[in-house]
Amino acid sequence: MSRSGAGPEQRQQASEADATATTFLASEHQHIRYNPLHDEWVLVSAHRMERPWQGQVELSLLKTVPRHDPHNPLCPGATRANGEVNPHYDGTFLFDNDFPALQPDAPNPGPSDHPLFQAEAARGVCKVLCFHPWSDVTLPLMSVPEIRAVVDVWASVTEELGAQYPWVQIFENKGAMMGCSNPHPHCQVWASSFLPDIAQREERSQRAYQSQHGEPLLMEYGRQELLRKERLVLTSEHWLVLVPFWAVWPFQTLLLPRRHVRRLPELTPAERDDLAFIMKKLLTKYDNLFETSFPYTMGWHGAPTGSEAEANWDHWQLHAHYYPPLLRSATVRKFMVGYEMLAQAQRDLTPEQMSSSCSGLSRVLVAVATALVSASTSCPQAWGPPGVQYGQPGRSMTLCCPGVTAGAPVSWFRDGETSLLQGPDSGLGHELVLALADSTDEGTYICRTLDGALGGMVTLQLGYPPARPIVSCRAADYENFSCTWSPSQVSGLPTRYLTSYRKKTVPGADGQRMSLSTGPWPCPQEPPGAARCMVHGAEFWSQYRINVTEVNPLGASTRLLDVSLQSILRPDPPQGLRVESVPGYPRRLRASWMYPASWPRQPHFLLKFRLQYRPVQHPAWSMV
């Protein structure tokens, strides 16, 4: 019986048999993953990253944020909505939220009259913490000591509010895309008289795991990730940054201490220093990923506090969640709608693809998201001659002094000029920030240390990120084919191309879909550096997926092209064509030719030739 004529149960059995026969590849086949921390599942559909995007595109944020705005209620010396005037602070600034979601004296709603209509008291305190007096910096642009000061306030406010309330939630919404209404660097602290839903879930899951396995869930999870090395993004002496196995957001990360720590106040001075360092490194990688100030929501989760703070909370492990919304670029975000709202969480990219650091830029062939790990550091030197850094017109640029220790204060000058661009008291250490760079900013910059010695020189070159290349393929015979490409727009920057292919096979006459075989394999560029690559030993009845990725210092853009050898087969023309007169027959001609040298002469693939002719003055062709 044909599959189309089978009953529903037979069709399901046949489908399950096909699925069993196919080798599972996490990067190719959809599956669901369990989140043991939140006791929920997430659907992973990596193949959906190939679909075209015609949805909402966010506007690029190009406006310059002033360093100080007297009308911004978070700036030093500004007047807030309640009439209070901020102090002229030069570090962090913690104050009560003028529009709190929780207040300490809210009345009790009283008993419920029906089990379907329950309400309970909710009391608490909301505070705002400004990280820095300047509005035009973010955490990755702050120095490590400045970030360390933020960490200290996080710890102290947790201890202060935790003396009264069972839950203290520290969180930062960065960027307008995450609902942040004020660009000044800040976070919020909400302390509540109740344990929020996600905290309750993490409490149940961690307690159950400790009870069953005898150790904290996240301690064991961190150890496993260190052993497997599949999803690690950053490691340091005291901290780990990884992409959770169960991650929902495309570039979601989890920040874990290596030591068993229950709450922020328990961190040692060395752990706090290291935390500031690894946060700066992670957030710099985020910013470099799409050359934008990367939006995210982040927050800390630690053991409950309040009146039961001294109870046994050893099953808890301190951790921070980072949830960035961006999906493919600085202007394309992931939306939690439809299936995510009505069924369960879903992602289009495996955590392993996102976090992989195995092969640097070549991993772009697998997924653009791997750039999170291989993204350039704040002092990139991966392209071109030493001392050259690259940027995009209209975007902010951060140059760094190549010859000094990271964070060391320096003075910046344009080469050949004596006027000071940025002094050592800027708070930006060895970095120089150029807002909305344009062609006038191109050139060489000099940095000098505090004693006036030359720290180094760096040249800025501006250009544009790569666009998807134009790709076409052709087969001159039935065993080999070549693909050529050209840029769809000029970037003005040094560019190279990464090429690979994989074979796609048809499982049988009744098969209704394509199943991917092993691969990808490199598509050798012949000669090296030419805009052409060759696939040798191709199979005539197979289909192939060609991947050509254009890469320059500002990113990568991939073109995928599916081809079948039959559809692109164009034999070369015959060689040695000769046309001669036939003696004694003035109305006859003798034509001869040879097989094209590129065509292997095999009995089952012989060429046929068609001969057309016409007199020079005649418009119509005749065929032999």
- Residue 435 token pair: 């807002």
| Other CB atoms within 10 A of residue 325 CB | 21
Nearest to 251 by CA among 372, 348, 359, 375: 372
Find tokens 């084919």 and name the residue. 481
Over 33-86, what HEC string results? EEECCCCEEEEECHHHHHCCCCCCCCCCCCCCCCCCCCCCCCCCCCECCCCCEC
- Asked about 186 being catalytic, the answer comes back as yes
Nearest to 624 by CA among 585, 594, 589, 573: 589
Side-chain-side CA neighbours of residue 431 (13 Å): 21
b vs e for 539-555, b when ≥16 Cβ sit within 10 Å of the residue's Cβ?
eeeebbbbbbbbbbbbb
Point out which residues pair with 400 in neighbouring strands: 431
Nearest to 533 by CA among 477, 491, 471, 488: 471
Q: Active-site residue among 132, 184, 186, 319? A: 186
Which residues, 6+ apart, have CB-to-CB distance to 440 below 8 Å? none
Side-chain-side CA neighbours of residue 380 (13 Å): 24
Torsion of CA 372, 377, 382, 385, to 10 degrees: 150
Element (H, E) at 254: strand 253-257
- Residue 513 token pair: 């879909």
Q: Identify the sign of the CA torsion 504, 509, 511, 512.
A: positive
Q: Is the peptide bond before 111 cis (omega within 30 degrees of 0)?
A: no
Class of residue 153 by CB neighbours under 10 A (exposed 0-12, middle 13-18, buried 19+)? buried
Q: Give the three-class secondary structure for 6.
A: coil
CA distance 430 to 448: 10
CA distance 434 to 395: 9
Active site (catalytic) residues: 186
